Amino acid sequence: MPKTPIKIADDAVACPKCGEQYVHATSVDVWAREKEDGPGVITRTEVPRNGGPIDKRPGAVTTSFKNVGEWRRDGLQIRFACEQCGDIPQTLQIVQHKGMTLVEWADPVTLT
Confirm whether 90 is domain-assigned.
yes
Average pLDDT score, the chain: 77
Confirm whether 95 is domain-assigned.
yes
Confirm whether 16 is domain-assigned.
yes
- Whether pLDDT at 51 is above 50: yes
Residue of 15, 1, 5 lying closest to 86 (CA atoms) = 15
- Three-state DSSP at 67 gives helix
Confirm whether 52 is domain-assigned.
yes
pLDDT tens digits for range 56-108 = 555 554 434 444 555 667 888 899 999 999 999 999 999 888 888 888 898 88
Confirm whether 71 is domain-assigned.
yes
Query: Per mean pLDDT, which of 7-16, 33-42, 90-99 is the most reliable?
Result: 90-99
Determine the pLDDT at residue 49. 66
Residue of 71, 72, 64, 73 lying closest to 112 (CA atoms) = 64
Domain residue limits at 99: 8-106
Instruction: Indicate the number of domains in the chain.
Output: 1
Confirm whether 112 is domain-assigned.
no
- Whether pLDDT at 18 is above 50: yes
Strand partners for 86: 82
Confirm whether 1 is domain-assigned.
no
